[in-house]
Amino acid sequence: MSTPKAPVARTRQDQLQQQLGEAVRRLRLERDIDQVTLAEMAGVSRRTVINLEQGRGATTATLVSIVDALGAADWIDALSPPATVSPMALLRLQQEQERSQPRRASRKKA
């Protein structure tokens, strides 16, 4: 009998939400902003800020509002830095190079 995988995935998601919340809290404290002020700046309730900081989840819109209010919109860029080389182009180049190299004849031992 197999065990369901959802609880394991949920635990990992909980950990990531907790990490994200802690990062938002650290950033807020570095900026010397209290939760009430941040909530006002972001257009959300103080409870929403508390929930996010405690890793209790938040909508994408809430996260974006809070990150923007903290002046840290560059976080979004950090999630997906621009690719300097396409992985697919690199694979095609490697395959072309392999095809253009002469094949070595295998030596049979007598």
CB 62 within 8 A of CB 52: yes
H helix intervals, 31-86: 35-42, 46-53, 60-69, 74-79
Looking at CATH, the fold of the domain delimited by 6-78 is given as 434 Repressor (Amino-terminal Domain) (1.10.260)
Alpha helices in the chain (DSSP H): 6-30, 35-42, 46-53, 60-69, 74-79, 87-100
What contacts 21, CB < 8 A, 6 or more positions away? 52, 53, 54, 55, 56
Average pLDDT (73-98) is: 82
Residue ranges covered by each domain of the chain: 6-78
Q: What is the pLDDT of residues 24-69, one digit of tens each?
A: 999 999 999 999 999 999 999 999 999 999 999 789 999 999 999 9
Cα–Cα distance for residue pair 107/41, rounded to 1 Å:
74
pLDDT band, residue 2 (cuts 50/70/90):
low
Task: Output 24 or 2, whichever has higher pLDDT.
Answer: 24
